[in-house]
Amino acid sequence: MVNKPVISIDIRKMPFVVVLFFYCLGILAGRYFNLLIPSLLYVLIIILVMAFLLLISLCFSKHSVFKTISFVVLYASFSVFGFYGAIKKKPHLQKNYFSNYKAEQLIGIVSDEPVVKEKSIRFPMELAIAIDSVASNKVTGKVMVTVLKDSLQSIKIDYGDKLIFKNKVAEVKSAFNPIRFDYQNYLANKNCWHQALLTSKDYLIISHKSGNPIIDFSLGLRKNLVDKFSEYIPNERSFQIASALIFGFRSSVDQETLASFTKTGTIHILSVSGFHVVLVFFILTLLLKWMDQFKNGKAIRLCLVFIAIWSYVILTGMAPSILRSGVMISFHLFGLWVNRKQSVFNSLAASAFFLLLFDAKMLFDIGFQLSYLSILGMSAFLPLFHLFYQSKNKLINWILDVIYVSIAVQLATLPFVLYYFGQFPTYFLVANLFIAIPAMLIMYIGILLAGASFISYISKFVGAVLSEVIDYTYRGLEQIARLPKASVAGFYINEVQVLFLALSLLFLFIAWNYRSKLMLKLCLFQFIFFLVAFQVQRFQQFKFNGVKFYNVNQHIAIARIHQNKVILLSSLDSLRHSTLQFAVLPDLLRYSDEEDIEFRRLSSNSTFQLDFDSTLNSNFVLWRKNKNQDFLEAINSYKNYMILLDGSNSDRSIAKHTKILNENQLPFYILKNNYAYVYNTANKE
């Protein structure tokens, strides 16, 4: 007897799943295999040859051999298209890439909404013209520009502004410290390999409104509404949360607020995503359901919902996350309109495929991955969880659905959450149950405030109510975040472990859905592989007995680590300093909890001789701030020391010192613009 599956999966009825699979294979090949392709012309020739072979195969499709060939060529074509999408904007394949010219000045257009910080403003720029002393040339390429704020002059740069600026462009450097966020890789996935640091004197705005008019209108509308929210919501933190939750305007949210949402596993609430679009879709469907009783009423209802959804997409500034959600819902609405029973997996694959056709590198966007995995997890595991228990009471069922959805989302995203963030929210179930109703209230009250923003006395009342609801919600999350072990951090896993864990979850779903003992065994087998690999990694971390000199530019950050006990020596004022939190703490959390790290403050004005305990069997000198006097005499007294030259030294001083060190055959390491120096006695034995 064959067990009937809970979820019927017929790959023949899910063509977009197959298409997406081969298309993504091509994207991955373009991303991870640095094939030496001298020109995009070769890729285009391959595409044309495949198109010709496909045409020939279709002409003889009655023959089984040619039918097989046609399918092979078709799917291979999708892989080639994916490969092309992943590599087409790489600098070495673009003849007119701006770095090929020795330009004195560059002209470009601000291609996204600038992110305003306390001391700077940052924005991506699509370059158009490179100017040298002789001529100007049309160019391509993208640069991430940071403009330092001048206390005497206000900076106002908007999307679509055309700027001319001094060519201070440099390649984005890789992450120098272990486990640090890889900014170089992040920008490369957005087809940006260069950055520039400017002052207010280095650029000039030569025109406005040069960007996409739809995006410009969308961002302008959002800014006006955010300004209205600022006026009518009295509490600053409530305003920040409302702006993030309703409009996706997260740049103004402070780190303390973000930490509370992150530790409780509710950070998705602050990212306008599928959750928010589903809320809009649900309320509109509920309000307009009465139209179905009239002729063509259903079609009119679906059209109104479609228009409302995309109006909301525009209202939120067409942020990538909300754009993804709008496309997903649009495919669902189309399926309802044609009265066709659709596979949610096929609809998901179709929406992902069309988004990746527009931008293949979106596949590597963390938000894209987690968004689709969340919906995939809900679609796959929610029907299976319903087998456990369903009540006749609607309230109990609603509570159960919140629990089931939370578990499904955490399961589906777990491999990537550990890979990217290395932490897991312990009380995610409690937090998601707590925030479920307030999140819906905030969303609906916020939309009401946006709609009534032109009526002052109504807006003041609605804004005050919204502020109170948000304040209550945040204080509740703050209490959950303060519970012991609210977040388990430092559990970073590598790509192989991600694969093991993801496969174990896939086999778990198949085993559960089809009641397959074989798949259950494979699930356990893969999970054991994951646990073994993870425990080996944890054991190696426990064995670590050494010291790490981190690259924190002109500051000092040195960690002495022995059997998961950590002492951090730094010239910065505390472990809570943003530089240490960003560049050092993610690595230290692999060895110790943050509250157990011993912090010692160092002076930043001198060279250090570091004599650690006898178990280290090595000592170090950290040479700083261009200290030149009696260098040869000084280093002769440190013949048994490793000498490190950090970022506080000038390039000229480093060149002078390294020459002396080489002549005297003394060991040294240049920390400036280089990877962190790691000494581990376990590797010396």
**Same domain for 432 and 570?**
no
Specify the number of domains making up the chain: 5
Confidence (pTM): 0.84
pLDDT digits (tens, 9 = 90+) for 434-489: 887 888 888 888 888 888 877 888 889 999 999 999 999 999 999 998 888 888 87
Would you say residue 579 lies in a domain?
yes
Q: Choose the most confident range, by mean pLDDT, from 60-64, 74-78, 524-528, 640-644.
A: 524-528
φ, ψ (nearest 5 deg) of residue 424? -140, 125
Would you say residue 584 lies in a domain?
yes
- How far apart are alpha carbons 277 and 443 in whole angstroms? 10
Strands (E), 276-427: 423-425
Last residue of a domain, one of 160, 176, 211: 211
pLDDT digits (tens, 9 = 90+) for 159-199: 999 999 999 999 998 889 988 888 888 899 899 999 999 99
Of 386, 428, 431, nearest in space to 409 by CA: 428
Show the tokens assigned to 77.
């074509």
* Region for residue 621 given its phi and psi (left: phi exceeds 0; alpha: psi -120 to 50; beta: otherwise): beta
**Same domain for 472 and 561?**
no
Would you say residue 186 lies in a domain?
yes
Rg (CA), the chain: 28
Last residue of a domain, one of 88, 106, 125: 88
**Same domain for 169 and 225?**
no
**Same domain for 194 and 305?**
no
Average pLDDT of the residues of the chain: 83
**Same domain for 427 and 367?**
yes
Are 86 and 132 a contacting pair, CB within 8 Å? no
φ, ψ (nearest 5 deg) of residue 37? -105, 110
Strand-pair category, 169-171 with 194-198: antiparallel
- How far apart are alpha carbons 177 and 677 in whole angstroms? 9
In this prediction, residues 637-661 reach a mean pLDDT of 86
Residue 503 above 80 pLDDT? yes
What residues contact 141, with CB distance under 8 A and at least 6 apart?
91, 94, 97, 98, 99, 126, 127, 194
- Given this model, what pLDDT does residue 69 score? 67
**Same domain for 619 and 653?**
yes
**Same domain for 159 and 222?**
no
Would you say residue 1 lies in a domain?
no
**Residue 86, Cβ neighbours under 10 Å: how many?**
25
- How far apart are alpha carbons 249 and 270 in whole angstroms? 9
**Same domain for 470 and 575?**
no
**Same domain for 102 and 185?**
yes
**Same domain for 298 and 418?**
yes
Would you say residue 2 lies in a domain?
no
- How far apart are alpha carbons 453 and 474 in whole angstroms? 24
pLDDT digits (tens, 9 = 90+) for 261-316: 888 888 777 765 666 666 677 777 777 877 877 777 788 888 888 888 888 788 77
Last residue of a domain, one of 175, 190, 211: 211
**Same domain for 499 and 565?**
no
In this prediction, residues 215-234 reach a mean pLDDT of 86
User: What is the 8-class DSSP label of residue 364?
Assistant: G
- How far apart are alpha carbons 443 and 440 in whole angstroms? 5
Helix boundaries (H) for 88-151 = none
Domain residues for the domain of 507 are 495-542
- How far apart are alpha carbons 30 and 20 in whole angstroms? 15
Q: At what angle do helices 366-385 and 495-514 cross, to 10 degrees?
A: 30
Would you say residue 3 lies in a domain?
no
User: What is the 8-class DSSP label of residue 13?
Assistant: G
Would you say residue 5 lies in a domain?
no
Residue 670 above 60 pLDDT? yes
**Same domain for 535 and 556?**
no
Dihedral Cα 222, 227, 229, 230, nearest 10 deg: 140
Would you say residue 470 lies in a domain?
yes
- Given this model, what pLDDT does residue 641 score? 82
